[in-house]
Structure 1
Amino acid sequence: MSNHKDLQKLTGAGLLISLGIIYGDIGTSPLYVFKAIVGTQRISDILILGGVSCIFWTLTLQTTLKYVVITLRADNKGEGGIFSLFSLVRRKAKWLIVPAVVGGCALLADGIITPPITISAAIEGLHTYYPHLHTVPIVIIIIAALFIIQQFGTSLVGKAFGPIMFIWFTMMGLLGVFFVAQAPSVIRALNPYYAYELLSSNPNAFAILGAVFLCTTGAEALYSDLGHCGRLNIQMSWIYVKTCLVINYLGQAVWLLQRNGQIVNLNLQNPFYKIMPEWFLMYGIGIATVAAIIASQALISGSFTLIAEAVRLNLWPKVRINYPTEQKGQLYVPSVNWLLCAGCIGVVLLFKHSDKMEAAYGLSITVAMLMTTILVSKFLKRKKLPDYIVNTFLIMYLLIEGTFLWGNLGKFVDGGWFTLSIGSFLFSIMWSWHTARKIRNRYVKFIEIEDYYGIIKELSDDETVPKYASQLVYLTSANFNSEVESKIVYSILQKQPKRADVYWLVHVDVMDEPYKKEYEVDVLVPNKLIRIDFKLGFRIEQQINLLFRRVVEDLVKNGEVDITSSYKSLNKHKIVGDFRFVVIEKVLSRSHNLSFYESFIMAFYVYLKKISLSEERGFGLDLSFVTVEKVPLMLAAPETVEITRIK
């Protein structure tokens, strides 16, 4: 991977790209955070100064320290995200699959709520001009358009993201400066004392914490996009982003303090728009809308990457993944795109207004952050850091995020149930897929392949058996070269004896390194039985057809194998023999000895398999050369049946 090194360098282009891709979600939070903190409360010094103080320290401890300083170090050959992190630590303990899957599902659920809330909050700025405007149709049109363009790739738009987000952050900073200059004493709000004062004296402290949390929701996405920008670029650009954000929050605080003692309807008077000069408002709403679309785009791309990784790690059914542009890391997953689209439009129709969506927002992302904390602490342990440092990190962030989770639980009734139910649904899919594979593997019988060398060689030379194919290829899940599934031997020798010149066994190993691409060849019987092991990273597309052809060409070039047709008429013209792939599909026969839980999981798995991509398509095989054989996955030994013959 050549450009991995370039990404690690600090460059102007890298800084600009990271502004465009990474900070959309965090960068658009000033649109709704203060609105959520104040709600319908009377404005007071302690509410506003404490609010800013909470925001500042959340951004410092949560985003800066946990994500930008510590978690970004957990890079897997330059790639970030919860599944990359899981790949780094999964050897440590079996149970780590649970936080990885829970975190992944929570992030996907967040992808359904982020576009509606950011785009709604931006468009609602129009209420200043048209108080009775129905924003729902406008928001739905923008969201639909956003999902429709995904299939064409976003590299074109991607180039414009950086400069637009630079304008956005600079605008926020300048607007904030203008108001802070009117009352510089507001800077005292950065003192953590005000945060403590607010949370200890306000009866709504937990609700306020739930609202404050919205300022750091994009931190998870920031880590997921590590592979696109590189750590140094993210860390340096964060300094600028955080400065602009904090100044903007301080500016909004000044505007609110000017209304001390009043109860203000912040839905009609969003402080974010109120600190804009009258003449600038229309431009401001325009820039905010574009920034909201960019924030949504980053989340959608992140969801695609997440699902693609889950598929390779066998945590999600095989789905079609397209690569619309040549750009690395650019992918498009049609099924996920339309699911997200339906989910986002559903959210807009269900909640209608951004302040209602705030309730659904934040709960699932707190869960994702807690899971990342658990995985990062395992990563720090792996890095041989002293126990006291690892434990301090773990306890500190379990406390901080546990408190935020408690604050966000209050939102469950108002809308948190929505993202949690979507997250649970996604979890049921991932968990069932993962568990069903383990149940299936329990019943796959492996046998020593050596015992069959003689028979396979004899079958290949037996001219009384009609030839099935010149080159016959089986996909095997046996990890050891000495073994093979009994089903493959059954398919070759019994299920219709398959005579071929050369038999190939192909095995695919998904590696923990994201972009690894290697293979090993093991000649079991010279020119008769050959095994190829592909070692592919979890970010590599598994196009077995092309990879296999490439390997065979290399072997022919080195004179290790002869693939010329053995038919006399074709052989003298040196014509290459035909290839045939056989995919063995294990069908679930009556599952007598499974518990109720396992039977349920297997039933769900069978349904998921029906609607997902077939094995042969998933491996990128050319369907005209594939035979699919259904073989029962015999779960129970057949009972002895008694039957009487009538004389």
Structure 2
Amino acid sequence: MSDHKNINSLSAGGLLISLGIVYGDIGTSPLYTLRAIFNTVSDSGQPITPLLVLGALSCIIWTLTLQTTIKYVVITLRADNRGEGGIFSLYSLVRKKAKWLVIPAVIGGCALLADGIITPSITVTSAIEGLQVKFPSLQIIPIVLTIIIFLFVIQQFGTSLVGKLFGPIMFLWFATLGVLGLLYIVHDYSVLKALNPYYAVQLISTNPMALVILGGVFLCTTGAEALYSDLGHCGRKNIRISWIFVKITLILNYLGQGAWLLAHPNYNDKLNPFYQLVPHQYLLPLVALATVAAVIASQAMITGSFTLISEAVRLNLWPKVKINYPSNQKGQIYVPSINWLLCAGCIIVVLIFKRSIDMEGAYGLAINLTFLATTILVAVFMRVKKVPTYIVVLFLTIYGLLELAFLVGNMTKFFHGGFVTVLIGSLLFTVMWGWYAARKIKNRFVKYVEIDDYYQIISELSDDETVAKYSSQLVYLTSANFKTEIESKIMYSILQKEPKRADIYWLVHVDVVDEPFCREYKVEFLIPGKLIRIDFKLGFREEQRVNLLFRKVVEELVKNGEVDITSQYKSLNRHKIAGDFRFVLLEKHLSKFAKLSFYERTVMHYYFVLKRLSLSEERSFGLDSSYVEIEKVPLIFVTPDDIELSRLPV
């Protein structure tokens, strides 16, 4: 618990760390936001007028205020799950309220992952494009791809070392943004009028291209979700205080770009207003700094994707995948399959779109869906916390309308690249939904029996020397939540499949709880010395190493004299040698006789394909394969009663 308090306390180090971890994505948005807006405007032939510039800037400033400051920094950061944030942490807090809440959680999670593919592509490309200001004929794609591949290759070594450098570099980046903006604001103070929301309202109500402009404006807030996702790494107070500095420097930079646009109404898409603010002699150092900031933004997105997937696995929303822990730092994880999936996605996006200005269409749409999903889940969380109904309705109305307006704006980019994000997000959605739905179908067919009906026969089998001993200690993983029940398939495996005699039968149950870090267990002696059940309660961020956890509990029980695991073979018993352990895993398959609807059959077939691609049960539970027996059982038993048969007379 001390660690938790530590993280949440306000400190200079904590502020610096939050600058490095949290704000990479939102901090690099000045590289492309204004260019995206005015590129679409100039393409349509609409002149760049002071009213248009002030209106767009006002939209940006008020989006940062309403969306990032009020929704995320003030409201959503309150929804912490024992110090952890992120869409799945939020879902864990409210999932008992209604079953349908899994839908926004899954959509939000998939959209965040899709965003993890677009973010590195667009930020690194925008940064490197600054070189073309000085070297117009330079081919930047090879440079961009080299940086992106390098970024994904270093993930496996852990990022704690680089992480220490992130804070100071991002501090320098934000300070530079603020100074560059100020240099131009002093030339034209009229740009400060944009702080007045009147100009935003006027632009939205009178400009025929308002929705398209909103699609571009939305890019200024794309990193807001990271403020909540990284709550566990930085703590609420550090994020709230550092955001003040970040927001001021971002607004100064946008106002500076606005002042440059007011002075250069003949803007064309060959120019990026951001790089036009930079004195010529400082261009190369700034491109270098922008590139490092882009890499940091991408790093935060990738780390976020790893955390997201590891939580999804524990919450049974994603197939079991290999998760590595490259360093001892809390929260440092590496998921190889997701790393290379994101890497391939980034390379494809860069090769398809080539210029950052063409990627802007694909960007924004995904994160917009995450924002909407978060709004729904936060509203439910407010109800859980007994917030007055009128405040919840107000929150839902304001953010529902605001985000739907952005969604419509972003949909105008659908055919200009937006479809790529939707396609990636949809593919990820089928995986999450298929895995979740298949589990629901499977659970419907799991038949439980009363375990105490079998106490006598288990005791007798354990002592029956006419049956060859299968193992001294026999362990089954059970999904029965109550100690009074057991799956009928486990009893079938012990008594009928091949009668399995053992000195002690163990039942192990793992329950993933709604808090992030929890490691507790409970032991029930169902038949003293013969049948023992262990229940583990593990947090959704804990690694499920059942093998080690089980061994630890058995050692405790032996030490306390509660159980004797000495081998019962006379020769071994004489020398006090421990008996052997064997795990039996029951692997379900779909028999061709199973009565399922077309939808259910499709889901189950997809599930078995995903299962083949994912980690095996024994590896996902951290079991040693030399002690594991896999027994195949049909998902649905077809009984002779289901078959009609007529006997012919002889």
TM-score bin, normalised by smaller chain: over 0.9
8 A contact 2:317–2:435 mirrored in 1 = yes
Deviates more, 1:596-605 or 1:181-190: 181-190
Distance in 2 (CA, whole Å) between partners of 1:645 and 1:578 is: 54
Distance in 1 (CA, whole Å) between partners of 2:150 and 2:452 is: 59
- Matched residue, 1:187: 192
Specify which of 461, 464, 477 is matched with residue 462 of structure 1.
464
The residue matched to 2:84 in structure 1 has which SS? coil
Deviation at 1:636, TM superposition (A): 4.2
Distance in 2 (CA, whole Å) between partners of 1:18 and 1:302 is: 14
Deviation at 1:2, TM superposition (A): 3.5
Q: Which amino acid aligns with 1:37?
A: I
Deviates more, 1:42-51 or 1:241-250: 42-51
Q: Which amino acid aligns with 2:609?
A: Y
8 A contact 1:467–1:498 mirrored in 2 = yes
Deviates more, 1:566-575 or 1:390-399: 566-575
Distance in 2 (CA, whole Å) between partners of 1:2 and 1:461 is: 50
Distance in 2 (CA, whole Å) between partners of 1:576 and 1:236 is: 58
Distance in 1 (CA, whole Å) between partners of 2:573 and 2:191 is: 88
Specify which of 338, 341, 351 is matched with residue 340 of structure 2.
338
8 A contact 1:591–1:599 mirrored in 2 = no
Specify which of 135, 141, 160 is matched with residue 155 of structure 1.
160
CA deviation profile, 1:29-86 (whole Å, cap 9, x unmatched) = 0000010111124321011111110100000000000000000000000000000000
- Matched residue, 1:85: 90
Distance in 2 (CA, whole Å) between partners of 1:98 and 1:123 is: 38
Distance in 2 (CA, whole Å) between partners of 1:635 and 1:554 is: 39
The residue matched to 1:463 in structure 2 has which SS? coil
Deviation at 1:644, TM superposition (A): 5.8
8 A contact 2:109–2:370 mirrored in 1 = yes
Distance in 2 (CA, whole Å) between partners of 1:271 and 1:404 is: 23
Q: Does the C-alpha gap of structure 1 residues 365 and 449 become closer, same or farther in structure 2, counting only changes over 3 Å? A: same
8 A contact 2:130–2:287 mirrored in 1 = yes
The 5 Å alignment of 1:273-284 reads: 273-284=275-286
- Matched residue, 1:640: 643
Distance in 2 (CA, whole Å) between partners of 1:506 and 1:448 is: 17
Q: Does the C-alpha gap of structure 1 residues 393 and 591 become closer, same or farther in structure 2, counting only changes over 3 Å? A: farther
Q: Does 1:257 align with 2:270?
A: no
Q: Does 1:67 align with 2:72?
A: yes
TM-score when normalising by structure 1: 0.98
Deviation at 1:197, TM superposition (A): 1.8
Q: Does 1:219 align with 2:227?
A: no
Deviation at 1:633, TM superposition (A): 1.5
CA deviation profile, 1:157-181 (whole Å, cap 9, x unmatched) = 1111111100000011111111111
The residue matched to 1:38 in structure 2 has which SS? helix
Deviation at 1:265, TM superposition (A): 1.8
Specify which of 489, 492, 495 is matched with residue 491 of structure 2.
489
- Matched residue, 1:599: 601
The 5 Å alignment of 1:304-315 reads: 304-315=306-317
Distance in 1 (CA, whole Å) between partners of 2:448 and 2:115 is: 42
- Matched residue, 2:250: 245
The residue matched to 1:494 in structure 2 has which SS? helix
Deviation at 1:131, TM superposition (A): 1.2
- Structure 2: which 5+ runs fail to align? none
8 A contact 1:22–1:221 mirrored in 2 = yes
Distance in 2 (CA, whole Å) between partners of 1:179 and 1:14 is: 32
Specify which of 140, 145, 149 is matched with residue 135 of structure 1.
140
The 5 Å alignment of 1:289-368 reads: 289-368=291-370
The 5 Å alignment of 1:527-566 reads: 527-566=529-568
- Matched residue, 1:7: 7
Deviation at 1:591, TM superposition (A): 4.9
The residue matched to 1:79 in structure 2 has which SS? coil
Deviation at 1:592, TM superposition (A): 3.9
Q: Does 1:431 align with 2:433?
A: yes
Deviates more, 1:563-572 or 1:82-91: 563-572
The residue matched to 1:621 in structure 2 has which SS? coil
Specify which of 524, 527, 535 is matched with residue 526 of structure 2.
524
8 A contact 2:594–2:636 mirrored in 1 = no
The residue matched to 1:326 in structure 2 has which SS? coil
Distance in 2 (CA, whole Å) between partners of 1:18 and 1:60 is: 19
Deviation at 1:398, TM superposition (A): 0.1
Q: Does 1:107 align with 2:109?
A: no
Specify which of 111, 116, 125 is matched with residue 121 of structure 2.
116
Deviates more, 1:184-193 or 1:54-63: 184-193
CA deviation profile, 1:7-42 (whole Å, cap 9, x unmatched) = 010011110110000000000000000101111243
8 A contact 1:359–1:414 mirrored in 2 = yes
The aligned length equals 644
- Matched residue, 1:394: 396
Distance in 1 (CA, whole Å) between partners of 2:129 and 2:646 is: 77
CA deviation profile, 1:269-315 (whole Å, cap 9, x unmatched) = 21111111111111000000000000000000000000000000000
Q: Does 1:613 align with 2:618?
A: no
CA deviation profile, 1:473-525 (whole Å, cap 9, x unmatched) = 00000011000001111111111111111000000000001001100100000
Distance in 2 (CA, whole Å) between partners of 1:75 and 1:407 is: 31
Specify which of 280, 283, 287 is matched with residue 289 of structure 2.
287
Q: Does 1:97 align with 2:99?
A: no
- Cα RMSD of the aligned pairs, angstroms, is 1.2
Distance in 2 (CA, whole Å) between partners of 1:340 and 1:210 is: 24
Distance in 2 (CA, whole Å) between partners of 1:611 and 1:283 is: 45
- Matched residue, 1:178: 183
Distance in 1 (CA, whole Å) between partners of 2:137 and 2:201 is: 39
Distance in 2 (CA, whole Å) between partners of 1:635 and 1:438 is: 17
Q: Which amino acid aligns with 1:617?
A: R
Distance in 2 (CA, whole Å) between partners of 1:643 and 1:117 is: 69
8 A contact 1:590–1:635 mirrored in 2 = no
Q: Does the C-alpha gap of structure 1 residues 402 and 93 become closer, same or farther in structure 2, counting only changes over 3 Å? A: same
Q: Which amino acid aligns with 1:616?
A: E
Distance in 2 (CA, whole Å) between partners of 1:451 and 1:492 is: 14
8 A contact 2:31–2:127 mirrored in 1 = yes
Deviation at 1:189, TM superposition (A): 1.1
- Matched residue, 2:205: 200
The residue matched to 1:179 in structure 2 has which SS? helix
Q: Does 1:269 align with 2:271?
A: yes
Q: Which amino acid aligns with 1:117?
A: I
- Matched residue, 1:446: 448
The residue matched to 2:208 in structure 1 has which SS? coil
Identity %: 66
The residue matched to 1:381 in structure 2 has which SS? helix
Q: Does 1:16 align with 2:16?
A: yes
Deviation at 1:201, TM superposition (A): 2.2
Distance in 1 (CA, whole Å) between partners of 2:227 and 2:388 is: 27
The residue matched to 2:481 in structure 1 has which SS? coil
Distance in 2 (CA, whole Å) between partners of 1:470 and 1:415 is: 61
Distance in 2 (CA, whole Å) between partners of 1:91 and 1:457 is: 39
Q: Which amino acid aligns with 1:352?
A: K
Specify which of 57, 61, 64 is matched with residue 56 of structure 1.
61
Distance in 1 (CA, whole Å) between partners of 2:2 and 2:152 is: 31
- Structure 1: which 5+ runs fail to align? none
- Matched residue, 2:32: 32
Q: Does the C-alpha gap of structure 1 residues 431 and 257 become closer, same or farther in structure 2, counting only changes over 3 Å? A: same
Q: Which amino acid aligns with 2:194?
A: A
CA deviation profile, 1:611-631 (whole Å, cap 9, x unmatched) = 110111110111111011111
Distance in 1 (CA, whole Å) between partners of 2:649 and 2:283 is: 95
